[in-house]
């Protein structure tokens, strides 16, 4: 019972620490979705140039999209004639520096860490794009559409991740709430709950004496965490509870930074898109450059800023107010709403498929009926 109680306490501490910032971030994301036209990025990007890479990076920062919905936007950039470097820069900067992720990062790790994360993410995104454009200067290889390259099983095939790049409608407060808490949050609800549970389990059941031995070798920790995070699908926001748990158990802030950078930027879905849409060489440039720069910036952070990092849940969890509690309750209600909704949607989809299969055999059924009637008449 003591372990169960400890798990629940850690879960609530993590939830209270970040929920209000996620709720606010989703609301701001909904406003940005209404204010910024969907074709804003593609209409301002040039061809194979340094300025287009910088623009793609900077334009990607405020856009309120998740790791999945950034993919159709990247496809739109390619169709508009953007360079491979610009697309890669956009794929890095957009999910990592989303407004919900930044506010949640601030809630857990403080001001210094969040500023370092934004600046380093911009540098990484621009560097990857420039390296890509330099290596493949004259490459105009065409790409497959996402429908043929990824298939319909990708998370981007769901309606929650679709990117409408056509007409910009009038501002609507209802649409702000709908996009922030229904469309955008749907893409992270399950992953966020998993992150909270895993983070709480890690703090509760992993003795600090063992984790300190594991994390005492700084460079070994860097290598292990980069190998762990790169193939893993981790949403920029949903991975934060697990990152906080790592730091609570003794992991250095630099290693946590590596986890939060490499994970979202090199998720399995994103890597698949880079390979299918941009080619094998682009994938190698994309993944290797991110890995090297994430390790470099992690080392820089531990060298110069480690002592300035404040894990705010340690100092703030005793000062929980009514707003934190309301935000936590609201976020859990939203999580369970989306989980239940997705479950019923899958059941309805399964039933509709069965109906299609049944109605696809009318001839066979009619023949059997005729044969039975003929035998009865005989």
Per-residue pLDDT tens digits for 339-372: 998 888 777 666 665 555 544 444 444 554 444 4
Say if 311 falls within a structural domain. yes
Quote the number of domains for the chain: 1
The residue segments making up the domain with residue 62 are 2-320
Residue 333: the pLDDT is 94
Q: How confident is the model at residue 190 (pLDDT cuts 50, 70, 90)?
A: confident
Residue 351: the pLDDT is 64
Say if 341 falls within a structural domain. no
Say if 267 falls within a structural domain. yes
Say if 106 falls within a structural domain. yes
pLDDT in tens, 129-166: 999 988 877 555 544 444 444 443 444 444 444 444 44
Say if 330 falls within a structural domain. no
Residue 207: the pLDDT is 66
Q: What is the pTM of this model?
A: 0.72
Q: Which long-range contacts (CB under 8 A, 24 or more apart) does 7-14 make?
A: 7/200, 7/201, 7/204, 7/205, 8/200, 10/199, 10/200, 10/203, 10/204, 10/245, 11/196, 11/197, 11/200, 12/328, 13/313, 13/317, 14/196, 14/199, 14/200, 14/241, 14/244, 14/245, 14/313
Instruction: Provide the 10 A C-beta neighbour count for residue 249.
Output: 18
Say if 43 falls within a structural domain. yes
User: Mean pLDDT over residues 91-102, rounded?
Assistant: 82
Q: How confident is the model at residue 301 (pLDDT cuts 50, 70, 90)?
A: very high
Residue 154: the pLDDT is 43
Say if 239 falls within a structural domain. yes
Say if 350 falls within a structural domain. no
């Amino acid at each position: 019972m003591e372990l169960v109680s400890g798990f629940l306490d850690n879960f609530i501490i993590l939830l209270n620490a970040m929920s209000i910032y996620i709720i606010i971030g989703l609301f701001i994301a909904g406003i940005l979705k209404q204010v910024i036209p969907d074709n804003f990025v593609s209409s301002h990007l040039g061809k194979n140039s340094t300025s287009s890479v910088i623009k793609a990076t900077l334009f990607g920062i405020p856009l309120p999209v998740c790791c999945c919905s950034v993919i159709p936007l990247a496809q739109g950039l390619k169709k508009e004639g953007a360079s491979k470097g610009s697309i890669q820069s956009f794929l890095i900067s957009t999910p990592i520096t989303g407004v919900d992720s930044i506010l949640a990062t601030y809630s857990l790790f403080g001001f210094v860490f969040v500023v370092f994360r934004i600046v380093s993410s911009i540098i990484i995104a621009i560097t990857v794009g420039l390296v890509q454009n330099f290596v493949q200067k004259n490459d105009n290889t065409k790409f497959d559409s996402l429908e043929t390259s990824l298939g319909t099983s990708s998370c981007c095939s769901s309606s929650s991740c679709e990117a409408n790049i056509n007409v910009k409608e009038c501002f609507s407060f209802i649409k702000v709430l709908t996009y922030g808490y229904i469309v955008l949050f749907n893409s992270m609800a399950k992953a966020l709950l998993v992150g909270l549970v895993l983070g709480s389990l890690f703090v509760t059941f992993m003795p600090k004496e063992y984790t300190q031995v594991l994390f005492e070798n700084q460079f070994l920790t860097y290598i292990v965490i980069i190998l762990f995070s790169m193939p893993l699908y981790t949403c920029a926001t949903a991975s934060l509870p697990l990152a906080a748990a790592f730091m609570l158990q003794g992991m250095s802030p630099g290693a946590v930074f590596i986890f939060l950078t490499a994970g979202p930027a090199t998720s399995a879905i994103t890597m698949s898109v880079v390979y299918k849409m941009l080619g094998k060489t682009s994938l190698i440039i994309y993944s290797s450059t991110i890995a090297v720069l994430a390790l470099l910036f992690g080392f820089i952070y531990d060298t110069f800023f480690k002592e300035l990092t404040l894990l705010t849940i340690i100092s703030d969890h005793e000062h929980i107010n009514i707003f934190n509690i309301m935000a936590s309750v609201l976020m859990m209600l939203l999580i369970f709403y989306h989980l239940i909704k997705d479950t019923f949607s899958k059941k309805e989809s399964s039933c509709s498929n069965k109906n299609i299969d049944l109605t696809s055999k009318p001839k066979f059924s009619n023949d059997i009926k005729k044969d039975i009637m003929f035998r009865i008449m005989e």
